[in-house]
Amino acid sequence: MTSMLCGTARLSLLCAIAVLCFTGCSWVERTTKTPPPAAENRAATDVLLPFGNPSGAYADPGNHENYLVTKRSFAISYNDRRGTANWVAWRTTAADLGETIPRPQFEPDPDLPRGFGVINPSYYSRSGYDRGHLIPSADRFADRGLNADTFLMTNIAPQAKGLNQYPWEKLERYARGIVRRGDDIYTIAGVYGEQGRLKGRVTVPTNFWKVIVVLPHGSNEISEATKVIAVDMPNSGSVASANWQKYLTTARAIEQKTGYNFLSALRPEVQDAIETRPDVHPNASR
C-alpha cells in the first residue's frame, strides 16, 4: 500500500511538473513573439507615415524599444530604454507655419503606456544639454494645441547647445523656407549612439540625423527626381561654427547607421535613386 501511494504521489508530481513546463513554455512564447501592428494604428500610420514606417514601430505596451506614438500631426518611434525617440516623422505645409507664439511648458507624454518610465523635463536641468526638439516648435506655430505637442518629452532629446542653436536650427529655418516658397516637406528626424546618460535614465546620443523629402504642395507624388536632403550631425558643441551643409549625406548612409528603412512604401527603383543621391549645396565643405 505504501509503495502504491508513493508511486501515485510521484505520478502526480510528474504531471504537475509537466503542466508547469507546458504553461511556462507557452507563456514565454506568448511574451517574446512580436505581435503585428494593431488594426487601430493603421489609419493613423497611413496619414502620418505615408511612405513607410522606418523601424516597423507598433503600439504594444510590451514593445519598449520601438513603441509607436501617434500624435495629431506627427508619429514617433519611442524607445523607453533610451528615454528618447528613435525617430519622429511629420509633414510641414504653409498652413502649419505662423508667427511666434508663447512658448509652452515641457511636459511628460501622457500617451505612453503604464510601465514606461516617466521622463521629466527636470532631468535636463544643469546637464549642459538643451532640450532638443526633433519636430521643431516653429513647424507648428499656426496651432497652439499642435505646438504644445512638440513640447512633450517624447519629442525631446539631449542636444549640445552648439548643435541645437546653430547648424541644426539653421537647417530647420532652411526647410521652412522651402515651405514658404510653395512646396511641402516630409521629414523624418532622429538620433543614434550613446555618449552618456542624464540622471541615469536619458541617453545622450552621439548623432542627430534628418531626412527631408521635398513634395509638390498637397501631393504625395515622389519620383526618381524628387529632392531629398539628408544630414547626419555629431552631437557636439564644437559644430557651432559649421554650416549645416557640411553634414550632408544620403538617406541610405543613415539607414546603414541606424538599421532603419526609409521610404519603404516606394517602388524599389525610386527608393534606390533618391536614397543614394546626395543633395548638392554650396559651402558644403565648410
Task: Enumerate the active-site residues.
Answer: 133
Task: Give the strand pairing for 184-192 and 156-160.
Answer: unpaired
Distance CA 36, CA 59 (A): 10
Cα-flanking dihedrals φ and ψ of residue 109, to 5°? -85, 120
| Best CA proximity match to 88, nearest among 216, 237, 260 | 260
Strand partners, 254: none
| Cα–Cα distance for residue pair 198/121, rounded to 1 Å | 11
Residue 136's alpha-carbon distances to 84, 133, 164, 169, in angstroms, are 15, 5, 11, 9
Can you tell me whether residue 71 is helix, strand or coil? coil
231: β partners = 210, 248
- Which amino acid, one-letter code, is at 91? R
Whole-number Å distance between alpha carbons of 279 and 229: 6
- CA 268 to chain CA centroid, Å, is 23
Distance CA(228)–CA(212), nearest Å, equals 6
Tell me how crowded residue 248 is: count the other CB atoms within 10 A of its CB: 18
Buried/exposed 132-145: b ≥16 CB within 10 Å, e otherwise: bbbbbbbbbbeeee
202 touches 276 (CB < 8 A): no
